[in-house]
Amino acid sequence: MKDVLLKRNIQLQPEEKVLLVVRKHWFVLFAAAIKVFLVGILPFVILPFAAPYVSIDPALPTFLVSAWLLIIWLMLFTVWTTFYLDVWIVTDKRIINIDQITLFRRSVSTLRIERVQDIKVERIGFFSTLLNFGELQIQTAGPEASFYTIDGIPAPGDVRNAIMRRVDMTTEHKSKIEYNVEERPSQGE
């Protein structure tokens, strides 16, 4: 099913192969859901303390709490949707970053593999180190060096190694095409 969704939404170039599909680590979803959950239980903490001082019809607080829970449910749905639709696809020719910003806002960017110059891995914090997730910062070649940052990647070292292997293969293959064996400069020159 994942392949069907990817093929429907991403146009691959002829003979381009998907090497890696990476989604955010589950802890990123868990941390965002906990924040929403803590906001969601706020009425249940406030109402018992406020109830003795306020005399109103019980239908009104019931309605307000129900509306509040509906909003919290929608927030949890939004958190899960943005988590699920954030995806990075590494192919043999490029890196495709699909960033689901909100429910109705998406950013898709691509980076050619041969433009990758360096990849930095960062793990900040206790849980990031313990659960092995972090951030990849990809530096590109060009007149102005630019950086692409990918947050919440599980096993970022493995992802970096896979991308760098592909970069090495691409540059090695490109150098073989650029020079014939007879035209290649000798080591003594």
* Within a domain: 6: no
* Within a domain: 27: yes
User: Residue 45 corresponds to which tokens in the numbers above?
Assistant: 């903490």
What is the tens place of the pLDDT at every residue in 99-121? 888 888 988 888 888 888 889 99
Among 113, 115, 149, 117, smallest CA distance to 134 is for 149
153: how many CB neighbours lie within 10 A of its CB? 23
- Give the range of the structural domain holding residue 144, as residue numbers without chain letter: 12-179
2: Cβ contacts below 8 Å, ≥ 6 apart: 21
* Within a domain: 87: yes
- The stretch 41-47 carries a mean pLDDT of 86
**The model's pTM:** 0.74
Contact of 19 with 91, CB cutoff 8 Å: yes
* Within a domain: 92: yes
Lowest mean pLDDT among 53-67, 73-87, 126-140: 53-67
Place of tokens 């070649």: 141
| DSSP 8-state code for residue 144 | S
pLDDT confidence tier of residue 189, bands split at 50, 70 and 90: very low
- The stretch 127-133 carries a mean pLDDT of 92
- The stretch 21-38 carries a mean pLDDT of 93
| Strand 133-140, strand 147-154: pairing | antiparallel
Q: Which of 5-14, 42-51, 155-164 has the highest mean pLDDT?
A: 155-164
* Within a domain: 184: no
Q: 31 pLDDT exceeds 80?
A: yes
4-8 own/partner pairs: CB under 8 Å, 24+ apart: 6/87, 6/89
Angstrom distance (rounded) from CA 153 to CA 136: 7
The percentage of residues in the chain with a pLDDT greater than 90, rounded to a whole number, is 32
- The stretch 60-88 carries a mean pLDDT of 91
* Within a domain: 1: no
- The stretch 20-31 carries a mean pLDDT of 92
* Within a domain: 4: no
* Within a domain: 146: yes
Count of domains observed in the chain: 1
Higher pLDDT, 24 or 178: 24
For 116, the enclosing helix (H) or strand (E) is: strand 116-122
Among 93, 80, 76, 100, smallest CA distance to 151 is for 100
The pLDDT, as a whole number, for residue 175 is 59
The pLDDT, as a whole number, for residue 132 is 92
- The stretch 53-57 carries a mean pLDDT of 77
- Environment class of 106 (CB within 10 Å of its CB; exposed 0-12, middle 13-18, buried 19+): middle
Rounded mean pLDDT of the chain?
83
